[in-house]
Structure 1
Amino acid sequence: MRFRHPDGTLVHLAYCTNVHPAEDLDGVITQLQVYAAAVRERLGVPRLGVGLWLGRGVVTRLVANPDDVRRLRRALDDLRLEVVTFNGFPYEGFHAETVKKRVYHPDWTTDDRLRHTLDLARLLAELLPEDVQTGSVSTLPLAWRTPWSAERASQAAARLERLEQGLAQLAVRTGKTIRIGFEPEPGCVVENTAQAVRLLPGRTEHLGICLDTCHLAVAFETADAVAELSAAGLPVVKVQASCALQADQPARADQRRALAAFTEPRFLHQTREEGVEAGADDLSLALGGELPGIRPWRVHFHVPVHAEPAPPLRATQQVLIGALDALLGGSQALTSHVEVETYTWEVLPAAPTGAHELVGGIASELTWMRDLLIDLGLKEDT
């Protein structure tokens, strides 16, 4: 879905396909047919943006086989789907039985992460619509926080320098600019805006921030982060529109029971308490006593952006709305890629039962987002 900002900027809205489990080319194309095309039809739009997640296996195949890239491009065109952004954070196995901290490997101290990200950039340059010159790839914020050392920081810095060089060469060769957005996340080396400003390279042509509004909320940050990033020369190359889970009185028995329903074995659900410096690396650990429970908790559990969870819990919609207002509600658009990233549908306490319900849920999220962007002064661009 495309929108036009009052300043003329074309803003793309997509949903992230990391909600789907396929990690081979046939599976990726099938999921586009079964889910993404159905979402587009449900919305009644002429084209739908998808933020592709491609596991390492399918990336390797596509890089080695230009015919397969053309096959994927034809499938997207036939289904009236378009791609301007990739989710390059998960490397592989994102829908394994247990993911947890595996999602942070390989990290930016390794050549594997550099190679994967440059491969994604090359593929995206080939898949961009003909009338679009700029794409984005989101990636992890360097590494999980432990182990970390001056030596590992130096290793990561060297790879980011090579990343910038590779992206510059790609732009010269293809005429397409692909920008990488490092995504601050609780528990990582870069988990908030202050750390992003201190640890990530600013004022480069191809590197910036992927601002995930669930992560922003879990860190108890506000839309002021947008101004801080801008002042440091860290552009928001992409927004992942998402909501965290919130418990206002986590010591209450009813709220603890409600939170316990969101504990599950696949993904990591970092939990933070307002005003408490140390956090818990998973919701089960917070409920087990690692947080005092005196003040509100926010949980890294991406709940659907369009609907509040059942009481007594709630979602952090206001953080999402505030961030998008700061980025797109003013006289100048400060980002052009917005991706709804609710990858947790399958592990929600009331998970969709079948493709039809999941399609309906994703379509409802995108409808809510479309209304929000219009309220901020953007117009649909058909």
Structure 2
Amino acid sequence: MTTDLLQIELRKGTSSRIQEVDFDNLPFGKHFSDHMFVADFVDGQWQNLQIVPFDNFTLSPALSSLHYGQSIFEGMKAYKNEDGEVLLFRAIDNARRMNESAKRMCMATIPEEVFISGLEALLRVDADWVPSQPGSSLYIRPYMFATDTFLGVAPSKTYKFVIFTCPVGTYYAKPPKLKVETEYIRSAPGGVGFAKCAGNYAGSLYPTMLAQQAGYDQLIWTDALTHKYIEESGTMNIMFIIDGKLVTPAVSDSILRGVTRDSIIQIARSWGVDVEERKVSVDEVIQGIEDGRLTEAFGAGTAVVVSPYSLIGYEGHDYMLPEPTEESFCRKVFHYLSDLRTGKIDDPFGWVTKV
């Protein structure tokens, strides 16, 4: 649905900061575009839909989201094709997943037309911020937080929905080193692991810091009960090529349903690659590395797209992973996704939309 069908007020800034940005040297998440979309959920409905200059909020010390954690977000990207048109990748899937997070966190859901129309209106205003340099994109951060001011554990009755953007380059400069986490957990059955809620990421910071102090970049999270089965990798879904098959942990209420993950699975099947979504044990992965049956291990997510790993640390030993070649599955699917998202090839899946 287009913005013409919704009343979205536009309040443009008086000047732009775009001249301050070196688009040939983009750190991830440091530069923010000129405007943001905001909407308020009050009296049971979404209202005050606006495009406004990117700026600070004034918040009450009693804001319920600061005390009780009702805060969710999404991550997505926009690209430019060779004609300079702005393209979105599977935006409706992010909107739907955000509503799944909202339901789990007992928050108001966002009508898809509000999400998509607000996003498209924002991208039209800040189209110049979408990079055209190879490997770059405009990262999009939709998020929502509770805005009631009270002390008492109960769902808020009011919320603020915001979308802002930032031009970004690559997430990892080199293939990350992973450590299998066998003490701390990211999520548990019946919990909120499948939701993109702020608390999931806050809880991961301390064990990740410990791993980084030990020389690793990220963690491989394992199941909460036994620590025998792999679930996710840091901020990414995790995938392996074992015996020529694409193997990845099956999604559950403790694993995020990644849009990039789903895209890779659909592409793999369209290429005739066998795909197994199932339990993946740590022992199977380590044994596969040792006997050569595991030839690739990589992460999949909006920020990284596809990120091969260099090694996996487990029980005091580092297991080196084969370096991907241009014929490796992870390299081929990365290039395919990049070409798809920038309109260089036909889109047989119907995932790419022009703004």
Provide TM-score, normalisation by structure 2.
0.28
Q: Which one has the bigger strand percentage? A: 2
Provide TM-score, normalisation by structure 1.
0.27
Q: Which one has the bigger helix percentage? A: 1
